[in-house]
Amino acid sequence: MRKGAFIAFLFSGFIYAQTTTIEDKVVARVGDEVITLSELNELYENYKNFYPNLSERDLKQSILQELINNKLILQAAKKDTTIARPGAEEINRALEERIKLFEQQYGSENFEDMLKSQGLTREALKEMYRENISDEILVQRYIDKYVRPKIQVTPQEVRNFYDQYKDSLKEPDLYRISHILIKVSVDSAQESAALKKAQSLYNQIKKGASFEDLANRYSDDRESASYGGKIGTIPKNFFPPEVQEKLDKLNPGEVSEPIR
């Protein structure tokens, strides 16, 4: 697992953030700060699909070590008065970029649904994670100043590392997916109309129509529609089994029939 990877990933689990209870078990202490079992388990669930060749124990140990490293670096960075603190504009820009990334990955509508399920708005989400992003920027500046200049890796060291860990370094299967979303109402008549519309779009694509053009014109996911239906790169087995089964049967560039 690449060192420092999790400092860039911590924010990505925000939709699933849980409130720590007083009964939550403490698995590590770093100065006055603690790392809880629920925090460790949550990150494990978020990232286990990205490291399918690592056992649960090994992945959790790696996550815990990264959490400890991050807290140690952050504490050192906060004490270092020579490192510039990020300003409000920089933090706002980083928050917007991160949110846009997840909208592209999960689709605008799914993202909004996840926010609603947590009782959050976009602005409330930004305020919740403003400090996290500020800390992330500060840590990166500390690494750039003190850690990165000291890193010297020889080609032989790279080869030795690869030979030792090549089985666990294999990339998980990934899909780069585009979709055209047609909303389906609980009303039977509207549901039938939506299914007919989806089938019509599929037939047009099979006859040579541009998928990107149809997505831009007809998809109800307006965020991905502006990108020709692209929703980003998704790890295998991220989707429900009934969807995954259909994806496994597709060849690169092939379009599936409508999936309900």
Among 175, 213, 180, which Cα is nearest to 199's? Answer: 180
pLDDT tens digit string along 8-39? 344 444 433 444 444 578 899 998 888 999 88
pLDDT, residue 138, reads 92
Alpha carbon distances (Å) from 24 to 19, 39, 198 = 10, 9, 47
pLDDT, residue 91, reads 93
Is 76 a residue whose pLDDT tops 90?
yes
CA atoms of 25 and 233, how far apart (whole Å): 35
Q: Which CATH class is domain 174-248?
A: alpha beta
pLDDT tens digit string along 159-203? 887 787 776 666 667 778 888 888 877 677 778 888 889 899 999
Superfamily assignment of 5-150 in CATH?
Porin chaperone SurA, peptide-binding domain (1.10.4030.10)
Q: Where are the beta strands (DSSP E) in the chain?
A: 26-30, 33-36, 174-178, 230-235
Is 80 a residue whose pLDDT tops 90?
yes
Domain ranges across the chain: 5-150, 174-248
pLDDT more than 70, % of the chain: 87
